[in-house]
DNA sequence: ACACTTATGTACCGATCGGTACGATATTGA
DNA sequence: TCAATATCGTACCGATCGGTACATAAGTGT
């Protein structure tokens, strides 16, 4: 056991709470008071545990990807379904998260991506956002590449175009959820968009 | 001519400049200094001409709709094209605006919609955002209703579902543009999504 | 010329911003 | 028991936030 007074809060739980605050309000819209209130800690504790506001934001983004992002990919690899069904399950899984009443609504990464453009997001955090989106696109491109190799789809549209299409859909569903769309509506959109895969 | 000293700036131009600042940085990410710097006026002039930050934001949103929103609808009514072609032209027209290097990138309304959720957007401005999205959805629904009546599409998917689908596409394209996607990529997405209308 | 009206620039307001210094409080190993 | 270490709460820092008071400048109609 290390010497010194022990932390009286759970760092993981505090990070989850910070994530939800950033998710709700965005980066410039979130103040340190918002964060410390939600996390139930004081500012010095926040700074000693997470660095500063920007680093906490980056940590929150990474945590979001791990907790709410990567879990949907498994639907793309269900052995008993055809490609079209698997993609639909993938998107529906995302749509359920986007409209989960226990969560802030929409996709944290999508919201952060929309905040890119001005000078309000620090450069390092900006890189994190771009990196996450690039990873998603690369993952989807490789997925469709494999499906093409396996003979599960035609060579046109190309895997990279398919990846862009799915990414656009995810973003679109996210903003729709932020606008108050119900899960049933999102599923209709998914069903309608599924004619080509 | 009305009495008193005359305004030394053009109110419409100033509003355009304010619109682009909000469009770039979002509402909480935009400070009064950002606004007055971009508009080339002092704070008292801003307040006497536009009320306050929130009212200026609402005015900027309304102006955006008039200047960059409604102009795309004409493509839906081109007499010499089939429904599928018209919708594609409509979306391509939007995509060109979303990626216009002279503009902040993406859709201002989409970005504002993403900022809904926390307590950072004042209630009245929130209502403006929802109203704009509702108008877009209603417009698209009525459009597809008319196309259905004219025998240009099947009764399934229903006009309201088609409207939701197009709105999702618009939002998705906007975030893609904000993420740095090129016009050619957006057009590929549009082409791919066009198989059903 | 003059009273009246409106816009402008400066200088300021209280509140909040992100961030920190510092003493008090726990917990460790010796 | 006691130094060493690490976290805690409080109280504060300069800077910036949205918003305004006020004196000056520039127009109007009579």
- In chain A, residues with a C-beta closer than 8 Å to the C-beta of B164 are 176, 181, 185, 188-189
Residue B124 pLDDT class (50, 70, 90 cuts): very high
Is there a contact between A114 and B117 if contact means CB atoms under 8 Å apart? Answer: no
Question: Residues near chain C (nucleic strand), Cβ < 7 A?
Answer: A 1-6, 30-34, 43-44, 47, 52-54; B 2-9, 41-45, 48-49
In which residue are the tokens 């900022």 written? B115
Of all helices (H) and strands (E), which one includes residue A39? helix A32-39
In which residue are the tokens 């390092």 written? A124
Among the listed residues A120, A66, A75, the one whose alpha carbon sits nearest the alpha carbon of residue A96: A75
User: Mind listing the pLDDT tens digit for each residue in A120-168?
Assistant: 999 999 999 999 999 999 999 999 999 999 999 999 999 999 999 999 9
Q: Is the CB of B131 under 7 A from strand D?
A: no
Distance CA(B131)–CA(B124), nearest Å, equals: 11
The SS3 assignment for B116 reads: strand
User: Mind listing the pLDDT tens digit for each residue in B130-183?
Assistant: 999 999 999 999 999 999 999 999 999 999 999 999 999 999 999 999 999 999
User: How far is C-alpha A165 from the geometric centre of its chain's CA atoms?
Assistant: 17
Distance CA(B160)–CA(B140), nearest Å, equals: 8
Which nucleotide lies closest to B3 by the C1' atom and the CA atom?
D28
The two tokens of residue B135 are 């108008």
Distance CA(B177)–CA(B21), nearest Å, equals: 17
Nucleotides on strand D lying under 7 Å from protein C-beta = 4-11, 16-22, 25-29
- In chain A, residues with a C-beta closer than 8 Å to the C-beta of B172 are 167-173, 175
- Mean pLDDT of all residues belonging to chain A: 96
Question: Residue B196: what pLDDT?
Answer: 64
Contacting residues for B70 by C-beta, under 8 A, at least 6 apart: none
Residue A196 pLDDT class (50, 70, 90 cuts): low
Among the listed residues A2, A16, A84, the one whose alpha carbon sits nearest the alpha carbon of residue A50: A16
Burial grade of B121 (CB within 10 A; 0-12, 13-18, 19 or more): buried
User: Mind listing the pLDDT tens digit for each residue in A79-121?
Assistant: 999 999 999 999 999 999 999 999 999 999 999 999 998 899 9
A112 φ, ψ (degrees, to nearest 5): -65, -40
Distance CA(B175)–CA(B105), nearest Å, equals: 9
CA angle, B178 then A143 then A131, to 5° = 35
Q: What is the dihedral of CA B89, B193, B164, B26, to 10 degrees?
A: -70
Question: Residue B3: what pLDDT?
Answer: 87
The answer to whether A135 and A61 have CB atoms below 8 angstroms apart is no
Q: Is the CB of A5 under 7 A from strand D?
A: yes
Residue A120's DSSP bridge partners are none
* pTM of the full structure: 0.96
Is there a contact between A106 and B115 if contact means CB atoms under 8 Å apart? Answer: no
How does DSSP classify residue B155? S
Residue A67 pLDDT class (50, 70, 90 cuts): very high
Among the listed residues B10, B177, B18, the one whose alpha carbon sits nearest the alpha carbon of residue B92: B177
Question: Residue A2: what pLDDT?
Answer: 79
Among the listed residues B102, B85, B84, B114, the one whose alpha carbon sits nearest the alpha carbon of residue B174: B114
Question: Residue B118: what pLDDT?
Answer: 85
The two tokens of residue A176 are 């729709």
Which nucleotide lies closest to A42 by the C1' atom and the CA atom?
D9
Closest by Cβ to A195, choosing from B161, B170, B195: B195
In which residue are the tokens 């700074």 written? A47
- Whole-Å CA distances, B165 to A153, A176, A188, B113, B158: 24, 10, 8, 17, 11
CA distance A74 to chain B (A): 23
The answer to whether B31 and B69 have CB atoms below 8 angstroms apart is no
Is there a contact between A175 and B113 if contact means CB atoms under 8 Å apart? Answer: yes
The answer to whether B130 and B60 have CB atoms below 8 angstroms apart is no
The most distant pair of C-alpha atoms in chain A lies apart, rounded to whole Å, by: 62
User: Mind listing the pLDDT tens digit for each residue in A14-32?
Assistant: 999 999 999 999 999 999 9
User: Mind listing the pLDDT tens digit for each residue in B78-118?
Assistant: 999 999 999 999 999 999 999 999 999 999 999 999 999 88
The SS3 assignment for A116 reads: strand
């Amino acid at each position: 056991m290390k010497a010194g007074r022990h932390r009286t809060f759970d760092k993981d739980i505090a990070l989850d709470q910070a994530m939800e605050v950033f998710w709700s309000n965005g980066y410039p819209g979130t103040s340190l008071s918002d964060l410390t209130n939600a996390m139930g800690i004081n500012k010095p504790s926040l700074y000693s545990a997470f660095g500063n506001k920007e680093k906490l934001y980056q940590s929150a983004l990474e945590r979001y990807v791990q907790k709410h992002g990567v879990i949907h990919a498994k639907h793309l690899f269900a052995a008993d379904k055809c490609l079209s069904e698997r993609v639909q399950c993938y998107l529906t899984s995302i749509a359920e998260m986007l409209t989960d009443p226990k969560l802030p609504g929409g996709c944290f990464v999508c919201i952060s991506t929309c905040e890119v453009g001005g000078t309000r997001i620090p450069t390092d955090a900006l890189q994190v956002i771009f990196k996450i989106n690039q990873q998603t696109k690369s993952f989807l491109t490789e997925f469709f590449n494999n499906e093409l190799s396996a003979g599960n789809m035609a060579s046109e549209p190309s895997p990279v175009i398919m990846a862009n299409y799915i990414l656009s859909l995810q973003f679109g569903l996210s903003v729709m959820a932020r606008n108050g769309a119900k899960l049933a509506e999102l599923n209709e959109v998914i069903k309608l968009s599924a004619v080509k895969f």
